[in-house]
Copies of this chain bind each other. A is one copy, B any other.
Amino acid sequence: MKTIVIVAHPTVNSSGTQQFLKEALQSAQEVKWHPLSWALMQDAGTIVQERRMLHSYTRIIFQFPLYWHQAPALLHFWLEKVLQTTDREWLAGKELGLVVSLGRPLSVYRQGGSVGVSLSELLSPFSAIAHQLQLKLLPFFEITQFYYLSAVQKQCLLIKYLQYLELEQPATFAQKEEWFVKRFRKMLQEQGDTEVTLPQKELVKLFQERAEELAELKAELALMKEEDED
């Protein structure tokens, strides 16, 4: 699966959140970072290029902050210029995901909250777009109050973000685990065998043993259920 992240942020280079996410993508092999800009959108040749580019990806992600509770004008402009209502023909079957960064906690997006409307409602136009173009809509991925996150919370965000982009959705626990082991192994390989500490090696080993144990337990449970049904 190949994923393109279409980033609609008017000042993407000075956004801490967006730069963090961009950095995160450096370790993702099959994910393209594609920031939009007004300058880019003024060029007539861009439209053809943008359309051609979309053909190569099976998962399309729109990534943006909310401005006035909606995607920024830049994304709307891109949608108006690049997509056509007849594009269902070649877009159908691809996946559409949304990565939305919020300055406020998720709890304000509900009845009685300071926004008073749910994020699902605010993002419903994308649900209608997906429906119209026969795209498979993924549950949106929200990033709330990035600036208040601790270093550990940022690491957790990074993992969840990469899994959102790279894994089949919704991802099972086993898939997430497998993703983790692969990543960890790759990281250790890149560090070089001499630099890898014993605790690091032990951790990967432990992680994998646990995964195997879990798989065995699941198989046992399945067997028990089968016997019950007999």
Contacts and interface: CB of A to CB of B under 8 A. Distances in A.
Interface string A113-143: 0111100011011011101100000000000
Size bracket, chain A contacts: 20 to 34
A93 interface: no
A222 B54 CA distance: 67
Nearest to A120: B121
Nearest to A66: B125
Contact of A68 (B10, B76, B122): B76
Nearest to A77: B73
Given A121-B124, A124-B117, A124-B122, A129 B67 contact: no
A229 interface: no
Interface string A53-76: 000000000000001111111101
A21 B212 CA distance: 69
A202 interface: no
A69 B83 CA distance: 13
Nearest to A78: B73
A142 to B, nearest CB: 15
Contacts of A131: 114-117
A67 B76 contact: yes
A102 to B, nearest CB: 12
A116 B126 CA distance: 11
A150 to B, nearest CB: 27
A77 B41 CA distance: 14
A73 B70 contact: no
A74 B72 CA distance: 11
22 contacts: A10-B80, A67-B76, A67-B79, A67-B80, A68-B79, A68-B80, A68-B125, A68-B128, A69-B128, A69-B132, A72-B80, A73-B79, A73-B80, A77-B77, A115-B128, A115-B132, A116-B128, A116-B131, A117-B127, A121-B124, A122-B128, A124-B124
Return the 10 tightest CB-CB contacts between A and B, nearest first. Answer: A73-B76, A73-B77, A69-B128, A69-B125, A121-B124, A70-B125, A116-B131, A68-B79, A117-B124, A117-B128
